[in-house]
Chains A and B, each alone.
Chain A
Amino acid sequence: KAGVTQTPRYLIKTRGQQVTLSCSPISGHRSVSWYQQTPGQGLQFLFEYFSETQRNKGNFPGRFSGRQFSNSRSEMNVSTLELGDSALYLCASSLERVLIDRELFFGEGSRLTVL
Protein backbone atom coordinates (compact mmCIF):
# COMPACT_ATOMS: atom_id res chain seq x y z
CA LYS A 1 0.00 0.00 0.00
CA ALA A 2 1.49 3.33 -1.00
CA GLY A 3 2.19 5.85 1.73
CA VAL A 4 1.51 9.56 1.79
CA THR A 5 3.10 11.19 -1.24
CA GLN A 6 4.22 14.79 -1.23
CA THR A 7 5.44 16.78 -4.22
CA PRO A 8 7.72 18.45 -4.86
CA ARG A 9 10.26 17.13 -2.35
CA TYR A 10 12.54 20.16 -2.64
CA LEU A 11 12.02 23.64 -3.97
CA ILE A 12 13.70 27.02 -3.86
CA LYS A 13 11.77 30.27 -4.16
CA THR A 14 12.53 33.93 -3.69
CA ARG A 15 10.81 36.39 -1.40
CA GLY A 16 7.48 37.60 -2.69
CA GLN A 17 6.79 34.53 -4.82
CA GLN A 18 4.10 32.00 -4.11
CA VAL A 19 4.28 28.23 -3.85
CA THR A 20 1.86 25.31 -4.08
CA LEU A 21 2.58 22.00 -2.41
CA SER A 22 0.70 18.80 -3.13
CA CYS A 23 -0.22 15.82 -0.98
CA SER A 24 -1.75 12.49 -1.95
CA PRO A 25 -3.03 10.62 1.11
CA ILE A 26 -3.05 6.89 1.64
CA SER A 27 -5.85 5.30 -0.35
CA GLY A 28 -9.05 5.36 1.66
CA HIS A 29 -7.94 8.11 4.03
CA ARG A 30 -10.25 11.10 4.00
CA SER A 31 -8.52 13.30 6.57
CA VAL A 32 -5.46 15.34 5.61
CA SER A 33 -3.49 17.61 7.92
CA TRP A 34 -0.57 19.91 7.22
CA TYR A 35 2.30 20.79 9.53
CA GLN A 36 5.25 23.16 9.29
CA GLN A 37 8.53 21.92 10.79
CA THR A 38 11.38 24.30 11.58
CA PRO A 39 14.38 23.97 13.91
CA GLY A 40 13.19 26.89 16.01
CA GLN A 41 9.44 26.28 16.26
CA GLY A 42 9.32 22.52 15.85
CA LEU A 43 6.19 20.92 14.40
CA GLN A 44 3.31 23.35 14.11
CA PHE A 45 -0.19 22.58 12.89
CA LEU A 46 -1.33 24.48 9.82
CA PHE A 47 -4.76 23.10 8.92
CA GLU A 48 -6.85 19.98 8.60
CA TYR A 49 -9.25 18.91 5.87
CA PHE A 50 -11.91 16.26 5.88
CA SER A 51 -14.25 15.56 2.96
CA GLU A 52 -13.15 18.76 1.18
CA THR A 53 -13.94 20.94 4.23
CA GLN A 54 -11.42 22.72 6.40
CA ARG A 55 -12.12 21.36 9.84
CA ASN A 56 -9.47 23.17 11.85
CA LYS A 57 -6.83 25.84 11.35
CA GLY A 58 -3.66 26.73 13.21
CA ASN A 59 -2.27 30.14 14.04
CA PHE A 60 -0.73 31.07 10.72
CA PRO A 61 -1.33 34.23 8.67
CA GLY A 62 -3.80 34.28 5.81
CA ARG A 63 -0.93 33.85 3.33
CA PHE A 64 -1.15 30.16 4.15
CA SER A 65 -4.13 28.44 2.58
CA GLY A 66 -5.14 24.99 1.53
CA ARG A 67 -7.82 22.92 -0.06
CA GLN A 68 -8.87 19.33 -0.49
CA PHE A 69 -10.29 17.73 -3.60
CA SER A 70 -13.00 15.12 -3.94
CA ASN A 71 -10.38 12.36 -4.24
CA SER A 72 -8.94 13.48 -0.85
CA ARG A 73 -5.78 14.87 -2.43
CA SER A 74 -4.80 18.17 -0.86
CA GLU A 75 -2.79 21.23 -1.75
CA MET A 76 -1.46 24.04 0.34
CA ASN A 77 -0.44 27.43 -0.94
CA VAL A 78 1.80 30.08 0.54
CA SER A 79 1.63 33.49 -1.08
CA THR A 80 4.05 36.42 -0.78
CA LEU A 81 6.81 34.21 0.57
CA GLU A 82 8.99 35.45 3.42
CA LEU A 83 12.39 34.20 4.52
CA GLY A 84 10.79 32.76 7.65
CA ASP A 85 8.61 30.46 5.55
CA SER A 86 11.65 28.28 4.86
CA ALA A 87 10.71 24.97 6.41
CA LEU A 88 9.82 21.35 5.91
CA TYR A 89 6.10 21.11 5.16
CA LEU A 90 4.62 17.81 6.21
CA CYS A 91 1.32 16.32 5.16
CA ALA A 92 -0.38 13.60 7.17
CA SER A 93 -3.42 11.49 6.43
CA SER A 94 -5.63 9.49 8.73
CA LEU A 95 -8.18 6.73 8.36
CA GLU A 96 -9.91 8.17 11.37
CA ARG A 97 -12.20 5.48 12.66
CA VAL A 98 -13.98 7.41 15.38
CA LEU A 99 -12.52 6.76 18.84
CA ILE A 100 -10.58 3.79 17.48
CA ASP A 101 -7.90 4.92 15.13
CA ARG A 102 -6.23 8.31 15.35
CA GLU A 103 -2.85 7.54 13.86
CA LEU A 104 -1.50 10.20 11.54
CA PHE A 105 0.60 8.85 8.65
CA PHE A 106 3.13 11.45 7.57
CA GLY A 107 4.72 11.94 4.19
CA GLU A 108 8.41 12.71 3.81
CA GLY A 109 7.69 16.39 3.38
CA SER A 110 8.38 19.21 0.97
CA ARG A 111 11.52 21.16 1.82
CA LEU A 112 10.96 24.83 0.94
CA THR A 113 13.86 27.28 0.89
CA VAL A 114 13.07 30.98 0.47
CA LEU A 115 15.95 33.19 -0.66
Chain B
Amino acid sequence: GENVEQHPSTLSVQEGDSAVIKCTYSDSASNYFPWYKQELGKGPQLIIDIRSNVGEKKDQRIAVTLNKTAKHFSLHITETQPEDSAVYFCAASPVFYAGGTSYGKLTFGQGTILTVHP
Protein backbone atom coordinates (compact mmCIF):
# COMPACT_ATOMS: atom_id res chain seq x y z
CA GLY B 1 0.00 0.00 0.00
CA GLU B 2 0.84 3.68 -0.04
CA ASN B 3 3.42 5.09 2.39
CA VAL B 4 3.86 8.84 2.92
CA GLU B 5 6.92 10.30 4.65
CA GLN B 6 6.79 13.89 5.91
CA HIS B 7 9.65 16.15 7.05
CA PRO B 8 10.43 17.95 9.23
CA SER B 9 8.41 16.81 12.24
CA THR B 10 8.76 20.24 13.85
CA LEU B 11 9.46 23.61 12.28
CA SER B 12 9.98 26.90 14.05
CA VAL B 13 10.12 30.19 12.12
CA GLN B 14 9.94 33.90 12.78
CA GLU B 15 6.90 35.84 11.66
CA GLY B 16 7.36 36.92 8.06
CA ASP B 17 9.72 34.09 7.17
CA SER B 18 8.85 31.27 4.77
CA ALA B 19 8.13 27.69 5.81
CA VAL B 20 8.60 24.59 3.66
CA ILE B 21 7.32 21.11 4.45
CA LYS B 22 8.23 18.14 2.26
CA CYS B 23 6.57 14.80 1.63
CA THR B 24 7.45 11.72 -0.37
CA TYR B 25 5.08 8.95 -1.40
CA SER B 26 5.64 5.41 -2.60
CA ASP B 27 2.67 4.43 -4.77
CA SER B 28 2.95 5.65 -8.36
CA ALA B 29 -0.83 5.22 -8.68
CA SER B 30 -1.41 8.17 -6.32
CA ASN B 31 -2.67 11.19 -8.19
CA TYR B 32 -4.27 13.42 -5.56
CA PHE B 33 -2.22 15.23 -2.91
CA PRO B 34 -4.01 17.38 -0.32
CA TRP B 35 -2.56 19.34 2.59
CA TYR B 36 -4.49 19.66 5.85
CA LYS B 37 -4.03 22.02 8.77
CA GLN B 38 -5.07 20.92 12.24
CA GLU B 39 -5.41 23.42 15.06
CA LEU B 40 -5.55 22.37 18.69
CA GLY B 41 -8.83 20.68 19.56
CA LYS B 42 -10.11 20.72 16.00
CA GLY B 43 -10.28 18.35 13.08
CA PRO B 44 -7.98 18.73 10.07
CA GLN B 45 -9.00 21.32 7.49
CA LEU B 46 -8.01 21.30 3.83
CA ILE B 47 -5.80 24.24 2.91
CA ILE B 48 -4.70 23.32 -0.60
CA ASP B 49 -4.57 20.29 -2.87
CA ILE B 50 -2.94 19.34 -6.14
CA ARG B 51 -3.63 16.70 -8.75
CA SER B 52 -1.04 14.74 -10.68
CA ASN B 53 -1.57 16.61 -13.95
CA VAL B 54 -0.41 19.88 -12.35
CA GLY B 55 3.12 20.73 -11.23
CA GLU B 56 2.36 23.72 -9.03
CA LYS B 57 -0.63 25.41 -7.45
CA LYS B 58 -0.81 28.65 -5.54
CA ASP B 59 -3.40 30.23 -3.26
CA GLN B 60 -2.33 33.57 -1.80
CA ARG B 61 0.50 32.81 0.66
CA ILE B 62 0.33 29.06 0.19
CA ALA B 63 1.75 27.04 -2.68
CA VAL B 64 2.24 23.36 -3.36
CA THR B 65 4.64 21.78 -5.84
CA LEU B 66 4.59 18.24 -7.14
CA ASN B 67 7.32 16.17 -8.77
CA LYS B 68 5.73 12.91 -9.93
CA THR B 69 8.97 11.51 -11.26
CA ALA B 70 10.67 11.81 -7.91
CA LYS B 71 7.42 11.09 -6.03
CA HIS B 72 7.60 14.11 -3.79
CA PHE B 73 5.54 17.18 -3.09
CA SER B 74 6.04 20.22 -0.92
CA LEU B 75 4.04 22.90 0.89
CA HIS B 76 5.37 26.46 0.86
CA ILE B 77 3.99 29.13 3.15
CA THR B 78 5.31 32.65 2.62
CA GLU B 79 5.08 35.64 4.96
CA THR B 80 4.15 33.40 7.87
CA GLN B 81 1.90 34.74 10.61
CA PRO B 82 1.34 33.53 14.19
CA GLU B 83 -2.07 32.19 13.17
CA ASP B 84 -0.30 29.79 10.79
CA SER B 85 0.93 27.90 13.87
CA ALA B 86 -0.66 24.45 13.74
CA VAL B 87 0.03 20.86 12.72
CA TYR B 88 0.22 20.33 8.96
CA PHE B 89 -0.40 16.99 7.28
CA CYS B 90 0.28 15.96 3.73
CA ALA B 91 -1.63 13.07 2.20
CA ALA B 92 -1.80 11.01 -0.96
CA SER B 93 -4.53 9.05 -2.66
CA PRO B 94 -5.33 7.34 -5.93
CA VAL B 95 -8.78 7.89 -7.34
CA PHE B 96 -9.61 4.28 -7.89
CA TYR B 97 -9.25 1.18 -5.77
CA ALA B 98 -9.78 -2.44 -6.62
CA GLY B 99 -13.51 -2.89 -6.83
CA GLY B 100 -14.39 0.68 -7.65
CA THR B 101 -14.02 4.28 -6.66
CA SER B 102 -12.94 5.42 -3.22
CA TYR B 103 -12.35 9.08 -2.54
CA GLY B 104 -12.42 8.93 1.22
CA LYS B 105 -9.21 7.03 1.82
CA LEU B 106 -6.18 9.23 2.29
CA THR B 107 -2.75 8.07 3.43
CA PHE B 108 -1.38 10.79 5.68
CA GLY B 109 2.16 11.78 6.57
CA GLN B 110 3.11 11.95 10.26
CA GLY B 111 2.55 15.68 10.51
CA THR B 112 4.66 18.80 11.02
CA ILE B 113 4.22 21.04 14.04
CA LEU B 114 4.74 24.57 12.73
CA THR B 115 5.37 27.33 15.25
CA VAL B 116 5.51 30.93 14.06
CA HIS B 117 7.08 33.28 16.60
CA PRO B 118 5.88 36.91 16.63
Does the CB pair B106–A104 fall under 8 Å?
yes
Does the CB pair B46–A104 fall under 8 Å?
yes
- Which listed residue, B43, B95, B97, touches A109 by the CB 8 Å rule? B43
Does the CB pair A48–B105 fall under 8 Å?
yes
> Given A42-B110, A48-B105, A55-B104: A102 and B34 within 8 A (CB)?
yes
Q: Give the residues in chain B near A94, CB-CB below 8 Å.
A: 103-104
Interface 1/0s, chain B 43-71, versus A by CB < 8 A?
11110010000000000000000000000
Check A92 for interface membership: any CB of B closer than 8 A: yes
- Chain A, 1-28, CB within 8 A of any chain B CB: 4
Does the CB pair B100–A55 fall under 8 Å?
yes
How far is A90 from B100 in the complex, measured between Cα atoms in Å? Answer: 24
How far is A103 from B32 in the complex, measured between Cα atoms in Å? Answer: 11
Check A71 for interface membership: any CB of B closer than 8 A: no
Interface residues on B, range: 20 to 34
Check A33 for interface membership: any CB of B closer than 8 A: yes
Does the CB pair A45–B105 fall under 8 Å?
yes
Check A31 for interface membership: any CB of B closer than 8 A: yes
B40 CB, min distance to chain A CBs, angstroms: 11
> Given A42-B108, A42-B111: A31 and B43 within 8 A (CB)?
no
| Top-3 shortest CB links A-B | A106-B43, A33-B104, A48-B104
A-B contact pairs, 6 of them (CB 8 A): A48-B104, A55-B101, A58-B105, A102-B49, A104-B104, A106-B45
A42-B89, A42-B111, A55-B104 given; name 16 further pairs at CB < 8 Å: A42-B110, A43-B106, A45-B104, A45-B105, A48-B105, A50-B104, A56-B97, A58-B105, A92-B104, A94-B103, A102-B32, A102-B49, A104-B34, A104-B46, A106-B44, A107-B43
